Structure 1
């Protein structure tokens, strides 16, 4: 049959025709729903709410060492609370899941326990004091436990809530203690490091006491002063040299003994003066006469005798004057005469002789004689001796100044490398001291934070709503089950009617014949109901009514005895709708 040709009247007719299966299907689904709503075991939930309170002491005064956010910290605490040891201890203490403990493994019990525990964060819109913008902040969280026994649910929820509170206290206290202990150890380590650096710096200063960077300017000034003093000393030495030369010239003109004159007024030469004179004459005569000449031999004997008497005398000045005069005469003779002229040859021999004598003559002036009695000689000799002594002292001073200048130069040349090493040690010491002060400051803050956590003045968890035995179950939602059962019963009735009609191939009306043979019938005979059919319909109707009544009575009795007494339900309904 073509279902598109059916009208509403056809569907109504089909529903009347299939009312018995429809009623049976609807009643069956409704009975199942009522049974599920009644016999489904209730689940009670006990919930505890924990408030996250800020620390009492202002954060600007005492800063807590626990710097993580509340959400992060609560999740970490949850992981510590939900350990297998804690959950199994609770299961064993309260004898949870007795029917499953004999058949299921430990992991299944733990998973069931975790599924029955509920955890949720409670947030609120607050204004961030730093940025001034509204943000969501976690101000509390709830911990729940589901169980078929409300008292047991409350006990387990209290146990879990206590674990959260204790774990928070312990974790915060442990964090503060660990931080304080770490900072104390770090401070001690830095203190030892500072002592070592102080020792290194002291040893470095002692080893380079004169080359330290702060003494560079002083070393430069001392070197400049030593160089200036050296210049003055050298100038004084040159002046003393000139003075000694001048005094030597004076001594050369003086005799140690006072001059003695004859009655005729002729000066009597002293042995030393006589020796000088003879040497000068001997040098002149050697250039004229042969070495075996009687005059040469005589003068040589006299010179030897005088030298044995007075010692060797300085004739360098006299010889130099004679040599200079001889050289002048030789130059003049060469201009006048030929090179082989006797006078030129004689002067050449005289110059050669004087030069030979000067090479063997003593270069130092004669010492002051102890028997000198010439006041002028004694005075000049004393001045020369004082000048010589002063010159020797200045020479020693010059050597000392040069050594000191070299020392200062070495200090200044080594100063950059020493300054670099000194700066490295000093900088390392300064950094260690700065770090030490910073660590000690943080250590004081950590100690205050530990005291803050010990006295529970910091951020803490406060149980504002402890878990209690629930009066109403959270599941199942029986009203929703009943309403869903009613909807499903109607759907089952409609569905069974449509199914039976779709499977039925009987011809029941004129439209069915026309759809089958495509020819309209000549006449339509009305339905003739027999007495047996009427009796069967009546019996089916009565049975349906009896079944519906029986289902209703059974449902009411089950609600009264298994769910809640009818008088209580009536009172609740009256209060809800008419109260």
Structure 2
């Protein structure tokens, strides 16, 4: 401490000597910026800011029940709304409605005024809650506006917040309606395509009836049945031909007039035929109760019984037994019936063969139509699935649209309207005054230090002794005459007058600069003017 004492005293003495030499320079360098800054701050206009808080709530109904047709996150939708609200025509309408920036509108063009209001509007997103899974939860944002009149500022901020809410409702409703219309248009197109493909399949099925792939098993079964029917028909024809041959032979044996052609007079067949002839002749003369008629009927019955027993002993089939008992007329009738049945069987055989050829053609053509039909059916199923999917989405969109219309402003609402501010948001004059004083002191100190640095003269003997080793013999003080002192005083007065005039000019200039300069207020504020998010 004892060693630092002389140095400290020397430093104080040197500082006092510098102040004595440069006090007027220091006073001028301090007074000029201080007066300028203080006059500038004192004339700056008061700016007020008001903020409205809007709450955004996401869909509360689970999407498993009702899926919203409004796509996109809320912050992206807010950006779109912001771009619409901040467009030139809308801001111009607000400026005229609330008579904003009257002074600026007198000296600047319309585009500059609109850009100025665009800068004065701030949108600040503020997250309040976020769900863990998937979609965002509830969050809010703030709409702020700054201006000169606190009442007007609050009304403008509330108007902007209300327009955000209104535009959000319009946008969601319009998006839901557009989604419904788009789905309806797509649904109509798919429905028309579905109907056309259904009509083409029906025409294909009608045109190739019986030749479709799913009918091949039926066709094969029908072919098998037709083959069986054809074989049975052939068998029946063979039997009829054999029977006709037997009947023809028997008729020939009965009616032939050649030797050995007629039956033996003692044969039962001959006796039976003779009795039948007599019975026929007798019936023309007597009734059925006549004794001779009854006698002949009894004899005929006895002979028929004997022939039947003979046929049974000979193991003849029923047709042969019937032929044995038949008369020539019966045999001829049986031949005619056999011819008729044989003709019917031949017609049936022709029909069966035609059907057989037709079904064989169907079976052969089925593979040819299978690929075409499968392509038609695949396209039809794909279109049907797409139609059902679009139909479900369309019904969901209708429900979502009705939900959007019913909700109105439930998703976005103002929870904290803007209120007129009691104190200005800018400028912070106390802070600016302190900054001005600090800068003025720094300028004065810097100016004095620069002047001392550029001054190469010696101010006392000690400085000269420190500069050279030559011994100093004598020190002569400055001798001034009265004229010189008078001249010095005049120059001092002139410098003081010039300094005062300059100081007054600086004060006036900075007062003019600060008056109505809102942009300068935000530049000098503690927090820079907020900019809207991009």
- TM-score class, shorter: 0.5 to 0.7
In 2, distance between residues paired with 1:472 and 1:94?
Answer: 21
**What pairs up with 1:193-342 in 2 under 5 angstroms?**
193-234=193-234, 257-260=256-259
Tell me the equivalent position of 1:398: 349
Compute the displacement of 1:463 (Å): 0.9
Does 1:49 find its partner at 2:53? yes
In 2, distance between residues paired with 1:471 and 1:529?
Answer: 66
Query: Any conservation in 1 of the 2:121–2:146 contact (CA below 8 Å)?
Result: yes
Q: Residues 322-343 of structure 1, C-alpha deviation per residue, up to 9 Å, x if partnerless? A: xxxxxxxxxxxxxxxxxxxxxx
Q: 1:524 to 1:493 in 2, by over 3 A?
A: farther
**What pairs up with 1:337-486 in 2 under 5 angstroms?**
392-456=343-407, 460-486=411-437
Does 1:23 find its partner at 2:22? no
Tell me the equivalent position of 1:151: 151
Tell me the equivalent position of 2:96: 92
For the residue of structure 1 that corresponds to 2:141, the secondary structure is strand
Q: Residues 512-545 of structure 1, C-alpha deviation per residue, up to 9 Å, x if partnerless? A: 43565x43323464968989999999xx9xx99x
Q: 1:124 to 1:520 in 2, by over 3 A?
A: farther
Query: Any conservation in 2 of the 1:54–1:459 contact (CA below 8 Å)?
Result: no
In 2, distance between residues paired with 1:210 and 1:257?
Answer: 57
In 2, distance between residues paired with 1:86 and 1:464?
Answer: 24
For the residue of structure 1 that corresponds to 2:407, the secondary structure is coil
Q: 464, 477, 486: which one pairs with 1:513?
A: 464
Q: Residues 80-115 of structure 1, C-alpha deviation per residue, up to 9 Å, x if partnerless? A: 111211111111222222233344333222211211
In 1, distance between residues paired with 2:479 and 2:242?
Answer: 176
In 2, distance between residues paired with 1:130 and 1:70?
Answer: 13
In 1, distance between residues paired with 2:404 and 2:479?
Answer: 94
- The structure with the larger Rg is 1
For the residue of structure 2 that corresponds to 1:497, the secondary structure is helix
For the residue of structure 2 that corresponds to 1:151, the secondary structure is helix
Query: Any conservation in 1 of the 2:57–2:137 contact (CA below 8 Å)?
Result: no
Tell me the equivalent position of 1:176: 176
For the residue of structure 1 that corresponds to 2:359, the secondary structure is helix
Tell me the equivalent position of 2:167: 167
Query: Any conservation in 2 of the 1:187–1:439 contact (CA below 8 Å)?
Result: yes
Does 1:39 find its partner at 2:43? yes
Q: 1:419 to 1:41 in 2, by over 3 A?
A: same
Q: 1:379 to 1:159 in 2, by over 3 A?
A: closer
Compute the displacement of 1:386 (Å): 6.9
Tell me the equivalent position of 1:64: 68
**TM-score, reference length from structure 2:** 0.67
For the residue of structure 2 that corresponds to 1:120, the secondary structure is strand
In 1, distance between residues paired with 2:11 and 2:479?
Answer: 24
In 1, distance between residues paired with 2:169 and 2:243?
Answer: 101
Compute the displacement of 1:74 (Å): 0.5
Q: Residues 145-198 of structure 1, C-alpha deviation per residue, up to 9 Å, x if partnerless? A: 121222222222222222212111111121222223333444444444444444
Q: 1:201 to 1:39 in 2, by over 3 A?
A: same
Compute the displacement of 1:138 (Å): 6.9
In 2, distance between residues paired with 1:525 and 1:123?
Answer: 80
For the residue of structure 1 that corresponds to 2:145, the secondary structure is strand
In 1, distance between residues paired with 2:258 and 2:64?
Answer: 110
Compute the displacement of 1:50 (Å): 0.8
Compute the displacement of 1:77 (Å): 0.8
Structure 1 window deviating more from structure 2 (159-168 vs 527-536): it is 527-536
In 2, distance between residues paired with 1:411 and 1:493?
Answer: 116
In 1, distance between residues paired with 2:137 and 2:328?
Answer: 116
RMSD, aligned CA = 4.2
What stretches of structure 2 of length at least 5 have no aligned partner?
1-9, 261-325, 516-534
Q: 1:395 to 1:199 in 2, by over 3 A?
A: same
In 2, distance between residues paired with 1:188 and 1:139?
Answer: 39
Compute the displacement of 1:246 (Å): 8.6
Tell me the equivalent position of 1:140: 140
Does 1:113 find its partner at 2:113? no
In 2, distance between residues paired with 1:119 and 1:226?
Answer: 88
In 1, distance between residues paired with 2:474 and 2:401?
Answer: 102
Compute the displacement of 1:258 (Å): 3.1
In 2, distance between residues paired with 1:448 and 1:14?
Answer: 88
In 1, distance between residues paired with 2:178 and 2:93?
Answer: 28
Compute the displacement of 1:511 (Å): 5.3
Tell me the equivalent position of 2:84: 80
For the residue of structure 1 that corresponds to 2:54, the secondary structure is strand
Compute the displacement of 1:466 (Å): 1.3
In 2, distance between residues paired with 1:414 and 1:106?
Answer: 82
For the residue of structure 1 that corresponds to 2:56, the secondary structure is strand
In 2, distance between residues paired with 1:138 and 1:253?
Answer: 115
Query: Any conservation in 1 of the 2:154–2:418 contact (CA below 8 Å)?
Result: yes
Query: Any conservation in 2 of the 1:244–1:384 contact (CA below 8 Å)?
Result: yes
Number of aligned residues: 424
Q: 1:529 to 1:220 in 2, by over 3 A?
A: farther
